[in-house]
Structure 1
Amino acid sequence: MALQQKRHSRFLLLLGATAIVGLTLWSSGRIARTLRAEEQRKVALWSEAILQRAELVRYTDALFASLRNEERDKADLMGEAYRIIQEAEPGAPIDLTFITRFIQGNRTIPVLVYRDSVLQGDINVPELLRTPERLDSLRSELAARGTVIAFEQGLMVYYDQSNRFRELQSVMDDLIHSFLSETVLNSASIPVLLADSTLQHILQADRIPEADLADTAALIRRLAEVNPPIALDLPESGRRWILYDESVVLKQLRYFPVVQLLIIGGFLLLAYSTFSAFRRSEQNRVWVGMAKETAHQLGTPLSALLAWVEVLRVEGVAEEVLGELEKDLGRLRTVTDRFSKIGSEPELAIGDLGAFVGETMAYLERRMPKAVDFSVVLPNAPVQVAFNPALFSWVLENLTKNAVDAMEGAGSLSLELTVEGGRVQMDVADSGRGMSRRVQRQVFEPGFSTKERGWGLGLSLVRRIVREYHGGQIAVLRSDEGVGTTFRLHLPVESEE
């Protein structure tokens, strides 16, 4: 009944923990989905803003192109006016008033006037260029461009595109640069790149790892699969393509439920491990207290019984009877010694485990039902192992008694001791009723027993003695209901030095 209540409590605890974890994951998943939708909306707005601003850039470029053409025409007219004046014949009936007024009204076209390579004057030249070196450089540039008119007596007039034309060109360049740097590449948390018209070369990239940039083709192909590329037709650059990945926030939100599940799982595992450790510690304290109290309670009557044996010997009781009585009292003293050692670090002594197992099993065979057929197989050579005789005999006794109980006093019990790979292997097999898988999982738990009056301490103490005190392992090798059970035990062998 207590076991069923314990199992029911565990089930309710597991159900409650599952409900809490499920509710937490559902709530966080809902929040993550909301944030993901918001982030996707931001990305959509960003891509739409790119298209709208690209259209604005194209419109602005068309407007600036019209203005540039007008300024270029003005510069050409200025040059033509100077040519008309230069080519006019003296005394020719030509009215130069309009032409002169056009030249004098020039406010945007830079003009340099040289006579015999000596600067005579300049018009509309920026202050930054008004040094001899820079003026000579500008003159050479204009001469190479062919925007020069030669007058008589070595007078040369050089003219350039209008300053307004240059300003328009500079503004357009700044606009394109601002468009690329602020709108396209400055995309907050969006990894983005700018590719050429063939989608073969990366021109600029932002927030993309260097390792990904090493394989251009694979990167462009992957980004094109994630989001459709955005086409840009930039002035004087031709077609460009914008490719972008999911934002960093989107990626983090995608893995957020998994990370949260791992964190919750880790916390639950840590909490369960801590709880189990405290529970085992509490159980150990209970078992240790019970064992020591049992040893203390047995000590007094045991001493009295030993004294009574001497009294009986003096009164002439048969020595054979007294000998058997002393053997049983010695056995009781061994049991008391075992209980007193529980909870303390036992002393291990190196000895021949094979010989000890043979002697112990011979003693147990004499005290078991005759219907049980014992078979003990031991190696011929000594098996040197560090063990505590009092505790290890308890292991053998518990395994033997459990096997005899499982066979209900009749059947076969075998023990085989071998040495393999630097460790001792001991198999204890019986032909009893066997165990189900559920029982196999619980057979070593303290308090678990299939007997009506069992305490459930035997095998739990066996495992503790083998694992904690001797550094070995014990487990159910196989068990079939109606066929029998085999326990396998491993102990480390002491090296011979």
Structure 2
Amino acid sequence: MKMNPYENKRRWKYLLLSFAVIIASGSLLYTNYLVKGIAKSERTRAEVWALSMRQLFEIDDNDFYNYVTAVRDSLAVPAIVVDETGDFKFARGLDSTKTFIQDPSKQPKKKNVKFDIRYFRAQLDYMKSQHEPIKITIFSNEYWLVYYQDSPLLTQLKVFPYIQLSLIAVFLLVAYTAFNSSRKSEQNQVWVGLAKETAHQLGTPISSLLAWIELLKDKFNAESDPLIAEMENDVKRLEIVADRFSKIGSKPVLEVHSVYDVIKDYVDYFKFRVSNKIHFDVKGDPNLRAGLNVPLFDWVLENLLKNAINAIDNTGSILVEISTNPTKKQILIDVTDTGKGIPKSKFLTVFQPGYTTRKRGWGLGLSLTKRIIQNYHEGQIFVKDSELGKGTTFRIILKNRTNG
């Protein structure tokens, strides 16, 4: 079974996205493993520090006291010590301009303790949210609680992978955007060149066919022959198609036309070239006017009508309805068929280049239609509504130029 090019591209996107998620997850898991290891080490350091706090009350030897103090100071992390009633006893590693609590071994009195209570409370609440306190027993019947927070290094390590992944994501996004823009520019140049060359190649045989038709009219005196008239219409349509291709890549000129008249003219031409089991109808106000490039807009109608016919199995109808929105600043063109419908998940996908449900389709019709409406007519086109088994409505929105 032939795989749709758009579906294939989307699968590759999903694969690449999955691979990126795996790399990101691996990076986060490994960083989390390191963070847990460092956090465990810091917990041990905090416990040693808390133990040194208790030892300060039990040491009589001055030399050993100095040793314990040195150990305590070398292993300290930002911490706050409170007693069993919640009164502050000691703080370390915090902002010294906001905290000043003397060494507990010196038994400070309340009047010598000075600190910013709001800052202290905020720091204590933050420490409580990070870790369970370490309980130390003082004088056998009294205990203190040691609260501590992660070191700056551990805090930075927790945040680093997210910063790293964000920077990588931004770099990849910029690189992808630049690459995609360059690739699209190259593709556009190729398509423009092919289109203009096609128009040039069609020019000579179309001119010859027009000359042959005139010769047939003169030779068989068939000026009013309906078959020759229809043949002439088809050749002129080929001439319009060639003109379309010649205009690709250049800004088309828009002229104000009656939207109803332009659509009715094309539908009248188109319906005689398809099955008579499909009924066509055009409704709307003939006075509604918009800026149109008729050859290109006919191309839009051709793609939408062909798409509708392909969606209808055998017998059905196609309605083109022209109206305005409540503010009357926009003209709304609804093309409704009674075909097989489109799943809601495909409402945006149908406009992607290469997407098609037909075995021999190129998947370019609706993509070109969207480009002509958006880029050349400064309008919008989208699937307004669709129900499987009942039909689809495409809506085109154009600027209303009825009054000027």
Which bracket does the TM-score occupy, shorter chain normalised? 0.7 to 0.9
Aligned partner of 2:283 among 377, 384, 391: 377
Q: Is the 8 A contact 2:24 2:165 kept in 1?
A: no
Residue 412 of structure 1: which of 317, 322, 328 is its match?
317
TM-score by length of 2: 0.75
Cα deviations by residue, 1:304-336 (Å, 9 ceiling, x for unpaired):
223334434444632223554443333222111
Cα 1:231/1:418, change in 2 over 3 Å: farther
Gaps (5+ residues) in structure 1? Answer: 65-171
Per the alignment, do residues 229 and 335 of structure 1 end up closer, same or farther by CA in structure 2, a change over 3 Å counting? same
Task: Report the counterpart of residue 297 of structure 1 in structure 2.
Answer: 201
From 221, 224, 235, give the equivalent of 1:320: 224
2:396 is the alignment partner of 1:489: yes
Equivalent residue for 2:22? 22
- Is the counterpart of residue 443 in structure 1 residue 350 in structure 2? yes
Please name the residue that 2:291 is paired with.
386
Deviations 1:85-144 (A, max 9, x none): xxxxxxxxxxxxxxxxxxxxxxxxxxxxxxxxxxxxxxxxxxxxxxxxxxxxxxxxxxxx
Correspondences of 1:342-381 after superposition (within 5 Å): 342-379=248-285, 381=287
Q: Is the 8 A contact 1:36 1:253 kept in 2?
A: yes
**2:102 corresponds to:** none
User: Which deviations, in whole Å up to 9, do the C-alpha atoms of 1:141-198 show, x marking residues without a partner?
Assistant: xxxxxxxxxxxxxxxxxxxxxxxxxxxxxxx9xx8xx969x956995xx543455774
Letter of the 2:340 counterpart: R
- Is 1:199 aligned with 2:86? yes
Q: Is the 8 A contact 1:196 1:203 kept in 2?
A: no
Instruction: Output the amino acid matched with 1:346.
Output: P
Alignment partners' CA distance in 1, 2:385 and 2:260: 24
Query: Percent identity of the aligned residues?
Result: 34
Compare CA radii of gyration and give the structure with the larger one. 1
SS in 1 for 2:249: coil
Give the Å deviation of 1:400.
Answer: 1.2
Cα pair distance change 1:429/1:9, threshold 3 Å:
closer
Paired with 1:185 and 1:353, the residues of 2 have a C-alpha distance of: 84
Tell me the distance in 2 between the aligned counterparts of 1:495 and 1:192.
76
Q: How does 1:233-382 map to 2 (within 5 A)?
A: 242-270=146-174, 272-315=176-219, 317-321=221-225, 323-379=229-285, 381-382=287-288
- Whether the aligned pair in 2 keeps the contact of 1:25 and 1:261 (CA below 8 Å) is no
The 1:17–1:194 alpha-carbon spacing in structure 2 relative to 1, beyond 3 Å, is: same
- Describe the SS at the equivalent of 1:397: helix
CA contact (8 A) 2:48 2:75 kept: no
TM-score normalised by the chain length of structure 1: 0.63
SS in 2 for 1:446: coil
Counterpart selection for 1:471 from 371, 375, 378: 378
Q: Equivalents in 1 of 2:83, 2:246: separation in Å?
A: 85
Deviations 1:266-309 (A, max 9, x none): 55555554554455444434433332222111111112223334
- Tell me what 1:44 maps to: 43
1:443 aligned counterpart, secondary structure: helix
Instruction: Check the 8 A contact 1:376/1:416 in 2, yes or no.
Output: yes
Counterpart CA distance in 2 for 1:227 and 1:23 is 33
Q: 1:348 to 1:293 in 2, by over 3 A?
A: same
Shift of 1:412: 0.9
The DSSP-based 3-state class of the residue aligned with 2:198 is helix
Local SS of the residue matching 1:425: strand
Deviation at 1:16, TM superposition (A): 5.9
> RCO (CA 8 Å, sep 6+): is it higher in 1 or 2?
2
Q: Quick one: distance in 2 between partners of 1:350 and 1:320?
A: 33
CA 1:303/1:475 → structure 2, altered by over 3 Å: closer, same or farther? Answer: same
Structure 2: unaligned runs, 5 residues or longer: 99-115
Q: What is the SS of the residue equivalent to 1:319?
A: coil
What residue number does 2:338 align with? 431
